[in-house]
A and B are shown apart, each in its own frame.
Chain A
Amino acid sequence: MRAMIIDDSRAMRSILRRILAGLDFETLEAGNGREALDLFEAGQVPDLCLVDWNMPLMDGYTFITEVRANRDWRDVTLMMVTTESEQGQIVKALAAGAHEYVIKPFTPDAIVDKLELLGLVNREVLA
């Protein structure tokens, strides 16, 4: 299983990379939505994207709408991981095609819980 971490903070990408590595994900990283789309267009299409909202060049919301506009990428699971916690923002992201939404700060367990809900992780197998 391959995941792409899209966040302008190297520190946040590092935290998420360590969590995903513990779940046997192979990871790719991008510093903003534009960089992530460039990787998609170059054929580096992951199974899962963890997407921040506020980023330079292209924000996470725009990235999600771009991914959802391309039928070739419809199988990619999109999970927002962001400080944007206003109800309106959450509804907007889910309506645009995000499958799940995690608010920063989070614990590793919170990420695993969401991935389990999405059927991408099985705690019983991990244990």
Chain B
Amino acid sequence: MTAAPAITDVQAIVEQVWSSFLGEAEPLLPAPVAPGRAFPADDAWSAAVSISGGWDAAVTVELSTPLALSLTTTMLGLTADETAEGPLDADVADAVGELVNMIGGNIKSLMPGPSVLSLPAVAAGRAAHPSGAAEVARFDGVRAGQPVRVAVHVIPQP
């Protein structure tokens, strides 16, 4: 049987990361999307970390571009002057990468170990998934009307 984190644990981790760095003024609310349905934003950023060792998996985060920009502005503490033309792509990649790093690291701690967490891979666009991986847990949420998805994919072992 494939080990998988409980969806409630994944949701708690995502909410904790979110509230720690973005505050609770505009909370992240659950917004379930039916299994198999596409992420509800055409313009998105995504990031992934892999976990290997006692448990082999990948954790992906997808979020709409407006949400990724908001995350970046808040995490970097950018002023209105600095954000007049929007954050740089490199800054967005950095912030989204740190987001998946925190979520992935905390999910890893719930699972059999010891395991190693990879450095994050970030892309402008939808997330790429490891070939043959099976999604075992997913949280869909919205903040200020903008969607975010966190998914856990387990990589089958031969």
**Residues of A in contact with B (beta carbons under 8 Å apart):** 8-12, 14-15, 18, 54-56, 82-86, 88-89, 103-107
- Contacting pair B77 A84 (CB below 8 A): no
B119 adjacent to A54 (CB under 8 Å) = yes
Minimum CB–CB distance for B10 against chain A, Å:
14
Contact A107 B77 (CB under 8 A): no
B97 contacts across to A, CB distance below 8 A: 9
The answer to whether A85 and B105 touch (CB under 8 A), given A11-B91, A14-B75, A54-B119, is yes
Contact with A along B14-29 (1 / 0, CB 8 A): 0011001100000000
Q: Does B147 lie at the interface of the complex (its beta carbon under 8 Å from any beta carbon of A)?
A: no
Q: What chain B residues lie within 8 Å of A85 (beta carbons)?
A: 105-106, 108-109
Q: How many residues of B contact A (CB 8 A)?
A: 25
Please report the C-alpha to C-alpha distance between residue A11 and residue B94 in the assembled complex, in whole angstroms. Answer: 7
> B1-58: which have CB < 8 Å to A?
16-17, 20-21
Complexed CA–CA distance, A8 and B117 (Å): 14
Interface centre among B21, B94, B105, B108, by most A CB within 10 Å?
B105
Taking a contact as CB atoms under 8 Å apart, the answer to whether B98 and A9 are in contact is yes
Chain B 84-119 interface 0/1 with A at a Cβ cutoff of 8 Å (1 = within): 000000010011011001101110110001110101
Which of chain B's residues have a CB closer than 8 A to the CB of A83?
101-102, 104-106, 108, 117
Q: A8 — which chain B residues lie within 8 A by C-beta?
A: 119
B76 beta carbon closer than 8 Å to chain A: yes
**Which residue among B72, B102, B108 has the maximum number of chain A CB atoms within 10 Å of its CB?**
B102
